[in-house]
Structure 1
Amino acid sequence: MKKLIYYTLAIAATALSMTSCLGDLDTVPLNETDKTGETAYQNIQDFQRGLAYIYGSFSLSSQNDPGKADINVDDAGQSEFIRQIVVLNEMSTDAMKCIWGDSYITETQTASWTAGGNAALVATYTRGLITVTRANEFLTRATGREMDGLPGLIAEARFLRAYAYFVLMDLYGNPPFATEENIGGGSLPTQIGRPALFAWIESELKALADPNSAMPNVGEVPYPRATKGSAQALLARLYLNAEVYTGTPRWEDARTAAEKVIGMGYGLCSNYAHLFLQDNGENPDAQKEMIFAIGYDSNLMQSWGGTTHLVSGNVHDAASQAIAKELGFGDNTFMSPERWNGYHIPNEYVEANFEMKNVSWGGTGIGYDREGSDKRAFFCNTGCEKEFDLKVAETGWRCWKFNSMDSQNQLHLDNNFSSADFPVIRLAEMYLIYAEAQARLDNGITTDAKALGYIKQLRDRAGLDTPASIDLDFILKERACELMMEGHRRTDLIRYGYFTSMSFPWPYKGGVPTGAVEIPAYRTIFPLLDNDVAENSNLTQNPGY
């Protein structure tokens, strides 16, 4: 569907089957037909393919078959990077639950994970480091080369590596650290500590966001490739969480960085729903809000992760049909080609955050008045009981924020894979970062006109009124509604001090049905994988594991 350079190049990137690991950039290929990094990069087209190869780290489970993984896992679909970022950041909180019996799901939603690793921890850790490895190889081969267009590709590769390290730092605290400058000849990476990694990421992003850098300006490369706006926006997110990562708050820097992004020409999509539909990558109104997205295509970039698991994982047959009927598709139509009947949302989360009208339980409809409710609410409770049960799918709400529709109200049911792109960073997040940073600078509550103006734009789009002042808890609720299922909730609750606190319960927090329990502080960071620590004497496991 998408006419993008990195879709077409990602297919050709199979020629770049380099088998490097973090500790050795000159690994001999496993197959005689595979190229090494030294022989793969000969001209600018090779470097374009190499960049596509790095982008593919985020969206693919293998280069050949979505049902086969290129890392050692039991289920290929559960090994995709974006899928497990969402799982770790949403399912470990109040925002998302699942009744499947997979060990990674049970451990994630009851805060019982271990350093032995599970599918979610293995996927994000391994694929994050694969991205770093591919970027390091790319940058090593680009050093000293002079080709038209290469400086911009180098800058994009640096950004993708910085984003991978940001995710690793957020999830794992102190991961192994390797760049093209400090790894080679078989040496193993060391750790530099979370504050030092923060400083390195900050330095990279500041250099890339600089007006004089080779990083493409906004609009200079095809959507959804990264630009200076992407670097500046990730910098704003980095500063927002600086106190968690380093012990020192950076609220002014977060506000300044967000404001710079806002001034780069992005705009809010007029229809919130269109941001998550099958043609969001072709819809100019949706594109203008996307600052950095990971692209998917049901024909060219297939994965059981990405947005496919968000489209199919949430609903069962009855809910899918009830939603389709609500939207005018008739009685015998499904909203998605597959219904995995797994993910659901506790009613406590919906009640605490969303302004919903005429909620009812026990009927055959979706269970509330969509027209009178927050337009960011995409829920259905047909066939479900209000009282949440972790082992029973038919409890709580189903969420259909990601679905098989397009912006022309057409359903795409002829392919089990989703073509909806995943919004890693949107303009709306920048509005929320600005407002939160301002509120924190104003001692927890603000009447600042600019901050209120940004919140008003989001609330207007959602069909809601805006109060005369906003406090931190109000902003957290706005984030819960605006960014639901986009991989932010865990980081938000940690920043607010709620993730481990007994005063902020949710169903099955810490494995307790009422959630009235304090989670140990060390669980704000996931463990490094035991086998990585065992194989690399330079690594020290995170405290508590």
Structure 2
Amino acid sequence: MKKYIKNIKTITCTVLLSALALTSCTKDLNVNPQDDDNLLASQLFSNENSYKQALAGVYGNLALTGTDGAGSSIVKGLDAGTSQYGRVLLYLQTLSTDQMVWSYENDPGVREIQRNIWTAQNPLITGMFGRAHVSIALANNFLRETTNEKLDERNVSADVRSKITNYRAEVRFLRALSYYHMMDLFGQANFITEATPLNSQPEAANRARLFEYIETEVKAIENDLLDPRTNEYGRVDKGAAWMLLAKIYLNAEVFIGENKYAECLSYCEKIINGGYSLATDYLHNFMADNNTNSARNEIIFPIISDGVVTQNYGPTTVMINGEVGSIEKNGASLGVGDGGWGGALRIRKQFAELFNGANFTNDTRNTIISANRDIEIADISDRNSGYIVTKYSNKTSTGENGKDQTFVDTDFPLFRLADVYLMYAEAHLRGGGGTASTAVNYVNQLRSRANNSQTITTGDLTLDFILDERARELYWEAKRRQDLIRFGKYSNGNFNWAWKGNVSGGIPISTNLNVFPIPANSLAANPNLTQNTGY
């Protein structure tokens, strides 16, 4: 993907504006076209050399936000920070839990998310709902413009035709991925495909409908995707499809009230046998060259970042600049400016305590800096309180800086093999099959890779252990909220953390917060949507 990343910005903006002009599913986003010189879709696709570039444009919505640099947003009323796909996904899945605190609560929407007091007017929630639907609109537009009839009209060459089936499968996966995030975060979505009549009012799909659609759609495209690890880095292959299926099956009891752990374990086995391997160093997964170092063998699907060509305020730029402590000013060691963002990000006490114990002292997953800091955060605005972490870096594995010292080169590992190992272990414990010895072996491979001195036995392998190990292995990878909900520890007071429920020590929150509200403007735009219970 990075081989032609230079085209993503221009093409994404072209495809984005064209797609949004042709569909009503995002009209509640109040899209604001900013470039009068953008080509119409018909003109873009008339050049058969542009099909791969148009494909890159669909991928590009995961990283880019607008048509005029990192600070622009195509969605009127939302800035780039509240409408970037990976960033808002990170906020909703991580900032709303025990793993992260954002110091600057005057930033729109942040205070409500990290204190679990959000409403349907929250701009971060609106940003996630909107940006996911933009991905869906982009995918639908690409699929409408690449039918056999359209290709015949344009007399497209046999060479391009030979690739279109694969391109379309990748785009269908990206659309299914957005519907997956909608199903998980909101429990419903505006449902529209390339077959939906243009400018019609979209129907609303609930979790059951979305689950069925995602499962059917991803299975339908499986044979049209390239085998695992045979596509260009950053593009979808069978491994990504298997991962998405494994994810919906792991969470099926939450999504549709059905046990599908056997299916989850089966797809985990397919991924594990798909040619992936763990990075030789845990931290390689989170460095500026994670597209070329040993992490390339582990990362199944990333959100691409490039510090020069695709500058954006996405998750890795946010986390690396935010990791720089107000006391430590450790930006140079992370490949950004010395002061970074002045102590923007810290961790909560309950997460820090997961690394207590001598066996975690040299564990490479333990990137906590605690010296001269209090583990407690009595005042969120006090950037000198609370521990910090340095998991992500804009340094390469050979010690060089990324190309820019604000916008980073580090790709966000949305799916990676380590998660699959832990999913296998959990699915086994929940009755999905497999063997305890295999599950223990996978966990110990992760611990060995991290230089943890303690291996586990089958007696140690419990669901509580898996939840904690997932936190240690996968923190700040947009997994924690979903994990806590699946384990019954997000709401109802089974597990509290600092500032949960807007109280410094943490209090129980209502179960209705297990899903986010449908944004108010989306409800107004589509009467088929209904507000989630409790909002």
> Is the shorter-chain TM-score for this pair beyond 0.5, marking a shared fold?
yes
In the alignment, the residues of structure 1 paired with residue 337 and residue 272 of structure 2 have an alpha-carbon distance, to the nearest angstrom, of: 35
Task: Tell me the residue number matched to 2:344.
Answer: 342
- Counterpart of 2:62 (choices 58, 61, 68) is 58
The reply to whether residue 380 of structure 1 matches residue 385 of structure 2 is no
Residue 7 of structure 1: CA displacement?
4.0
- Counterpart of 1:452 (choices 440, 448, 462) is 440
Residue 355 of structure 1: CA displacement?
4.3
The reply to whether residue 41 of structure 1 matches residue 34 of structure 2 is no
Task: Show CA shifts across 1:435-483 (max 9, x none).
Answer: 000011189xx97111111111101112222221200011111100110
Contact 1:375 1:462 in 2 (8 A): yes
The reply to whether residue 138 of structure 1 matches residue 151 of structure 2 is no
Contact 1:7 1:52 in 2 (8 A): no
Task: Tell me the residue number matched to 1:362.
Answer: none
Amino acid at match of 2:377: F
In the alignment, the residues of structure 1 paired with residue 186 and residue 26 of structure 2 have an alpha-carbon distance, to the nearest angstrom, of: 24
Contact 2:183 2:206 in 1 (8 A): no
- Counterpart of 1:186 (choices 178, 199, 221) is 199
Amino acid at match of 1:524: N
Contact 1:59 1:306 in 2 (8 A): no
Unaligned runs of 5+ in 1: 328-332, 359-369
Contact 2:11 2:57 in 1 (8 A): no
Task: Tell me the residue number matched to 1:271.
Answer: 281
1:222 to 1:126, Cα distance in 2 relative to 1, 3 A? same
In the alignment, the residues of structure 1 paired with residue 203 and residue 25 of structure 2 have an alpha-carbon distance, to the nearest angstrom, of: 13
In the alignment, the residues of structure 2 paired with residue 430 and residue 472 of structure 1 have an alpha-carbon distance, to the nearest angstrom, of: 15
In the alignment, the residues of structure 2 paired with residue 315 and residue 322 of structure 1 have an alpha-carbon distance, to the nearest angstrom, of: 5
Contact 1:152 1:216 in 2 (8 A): yes
- Counterpart of 1:95 (choices 76, 92, 99) is 99
1:23 to 1:35, Cα distance in 2 relative to 1, 3 A? same
The reply to whether residue 473 of structure 1 matches residue 487 of structure 2 is no
The reply to whether residue 311 of structure 1 matches residue 299 of structure 2 is no
In the alignment, the residues of structure 2 paired with residue 239 and residue 203 of structure 1 have an alpha-carbon distance, to the nearest angstrom, of: 13
Unaligned runs of 5+ in 2: 153-160
- Counterpart of 1:407 (choices 385, 393, 397) is 397
- Counterpart of 1:489 (choices 480, 494, 515) is 480
SS in structure 2 opposite 1:538? coil
Task: Tell me the residue number matched to 1:242.
Answer: 252
1:35 to 1:162, Cα distance in 2 relative to 1, 3 A? same
In the alignment, the residues of structure 2 paired with residue 537 and residue 15 of structure 1 have an alpha-carbon distance, to the nearest angstrom, of: 30
Amino acid at match of 2:445: Q
Contact 2:228 2:239 in 1 (8 A): yes
The reply to whether residue 392 of structure 1 matches residue 401 of structure 2 is no
SS in structure 2 opposite 1:254? helix
In the alignment, the residues of structure 2 paired with residue 405 and residue 13 of structure 1 have an alpha-carbon distance, to the nearest angstrom, of: 28
- Counterpart of 1:110 (choices 110, 115, 123) is 115
Amino acid at match of 1:308: T
Deviates most, 259-268 or 95-104:
95-104
In the alignment, the residues of structure 1 paired with residue 73 and residue 32 of structure 2 have an alpha-carbon distance, to the nearest angstrom, of: 21
Residue 73 of structure 1: CA displacement?
3.5
Residue 188 of structure 1: CA displacement?
1.3
1:51 to 1:442, Cα distance in 2 relative to 1, 3 A? closer
Contact 2:329 2:338 in 1 (8 A): yes
What is the TM-score normalised by the length of structure 1? 0.89
- Map 1:167-206 onto structure 2 (within 5 A): 167-181=181-195, 183-206=196-219
SS in structure 1 opposite 2:365? coil
The reply to whether residue 165 of structure 1 matches residue 146 of structure 2 is no
In the alignment, the residues of structure 1 paired with residue 199 and residue 336 of structure 2 have an alpha-carbon distance, to the nearest angstrom, of: 53
Task: Show CA shifts across 1:300-358 (max 9, x none).
Answer: 1101223100100122353234994xx9xxxxx9775723311110122111x224549
SS in structure 2 opposite 1:432? helix
- Counterpart of 1:222 (choices 219, 232, 250) is 232
1:491 to 1:21, Cα distance in 2 relative to 1, 3 A? farther
Amino acid at match of 2:373: C
Amino acid at match of 1:461: R
In the alignment, the residues of structure 1 paired with residue 95 and residue 22 of structure 2 have an alpha-carbon distance, to the nearest angstrom, of: 30
Task: Show CA shifts across 1:465-508 (max 9, x none).
Answer: 22212000111111001100000000000000000031311011
In the alignment, the residues of structure 2 paired with residue 447 and residue 255 of structure 1 have an alpha-carbon distance, to the nearest angstrom, of: 11
1:3 to 1:412, Cα distance in 2 relative to 1, 3 A? closer
SS in structure 2 opposite 1:149? helix
In the alignment, the residues of structure 2 paired with residue 374 and residue 31 of structure 1 have an alpha-carbon distance, to the nearest angstrom, of: 49
SS in structure 2 opposite 1:137? helix
Contact 1:447 1:468 in 2 (8 A): no
In the alignment, the residues of structure 1 paired with residue 494 and residue 485 of structure 2 have an alpha-carbon distance, to the nearest angstrom, of: 13
In the alignment, the residues of structure 1 paired with residue 36 and residue 348 of structure 2 have an alpha-carbon distance, to the nearest angstrom, of: 52
In the alignment, the residues of structure 2 paired with residue 265 and residue 161 of structure 1 have an alpha-carbon distance, to the nearest angstrom, of: 25
Report which of the two has the higher share of helix: 2
In the alignment, the residues of structure 2 paired with residue 84 and residue 25 of structure 1 have an alpha-carbon distance, to the nearest angstrom, of: 17
In the alignment, the residues of structure 2 paired with residue 221 and residue 40 of structure 1 have an alpha-carbon distance, to the nearest angstrom, of: 24
- Counterpart of 2:268 (choices 258, 265, 268) is 258
SS in structure 2 opposite 1:69? coil
- Counterpart of 2:86 (choices 50, 75, 82) is 82
In the alignment, the residues of structure 1 paired with residue 501 and residue 32 of structure 2 have an alpha-carbon distance, to the nearest angstrom, of: 45
Task: Show CA shifts across 1:150-178 (max 9, x none).
Answer: 11100000000011111111111111111
Task: Show CA shifts across 1:129-159 (max 9, x none).
Answer: 0000000011111122362211110000000
In the alignment, the residues of structure 2 paired with residue 434 and residue 483 of structure 1 have an alpha-carbon distance, to the nearest angstrom, of: 15
Residue 391 of structure 1: CA displacement?
3.0
Task: Tell me the residue number matched to 2:157.
Answer: none
Residue 103 of structure 1: CA displacement?
4.2
1:25 to 1:108, Cα distance in 2 relative to 1, 3 A? closer
In the alignment, the residues of structure 1 paired with residue 4 and residue 239 of structure 2 have an alpha-carbon distance, to the nearest angstrom, of: 19
Contact 2:25 2:137 in 1 (8 A): no
Amino acid at match of 2:510: P
In the alignment, the residues of structure 2 paired with residue 170 and residue 22 of structure 1 have an alpha-carbon distance, to the nearest angstrom, of: 24
The reply to whether residue 126 of structure 1 matches residue 116 of structure 2 is no
Q: How many residues align?
A: 515
Contact 2:336 2:405 in 1 (8 A): no
In the alignment, the residues of structure 1 paired with residue 65 and residue 136 of structure 2 have an alpha-carbon distance, to the nearest angstrom, of: 16
- Counterpart of 1:287 (choices 278, 296, 319) is 296
Contact 1:61 1:79 in 2 (8 A): yes
Residue 208 of structure 1: CA displacement?
2.4
Deviates most, 61-70 or 526-535:
61-70
SS in structure 2 opposite 1:396? coil
Deviates most, 454-463 or 489-498:
454-463
Task: Show CA shifts across 1:231-287 (max 9, x none).
Answer: 00111011100110001121101100111111100000010011101111122x110
In the alignment, the residues of structure 1 paired with residue 509 and residue 326 of structure 2 have an alpha-carbon distance, to the nearest angstrom, of: 36
Amino acid at match of 1:54: V
Contact 1:337 1:413 in 2 (8 A): no
Contact 2:286 2:392 in 1 (8 A): yes
1:30 to 1:400, Cα distance in 2 relative to 1, 3 A? closer
Amino acid at match of 2:117: S
Contact 2:132 2:179 in 1 (8 A): yes
SS in structure 2 opposite 1:320? coil
SS in structure 2 opposite 1:386? coil
- Counterpart of 2:71 (choices 67, 71, 76) is 67
In the alignment, the residues of structure 2 paired with residue 392 and residue 138 of structure 1 have an alpha-carbon distance, to the nearest angstrom, of: 47
Residue 393 of structure 1: CA displacement?
1.5
1:49 to 1:477, Cα distance in 2 relative to 1, 3 A? same
Amino acid at match of 2:438: K
Residue 512 of structure 1: CA displacement?
1.7
Contact 2:488 2:494 in 1 (8 A): no
In the alignment, the residues of structure 2 paired with residue 90 and residue 510 of structure 1 have an alpha-carbon distance, to the nearest angstrom, of: 15
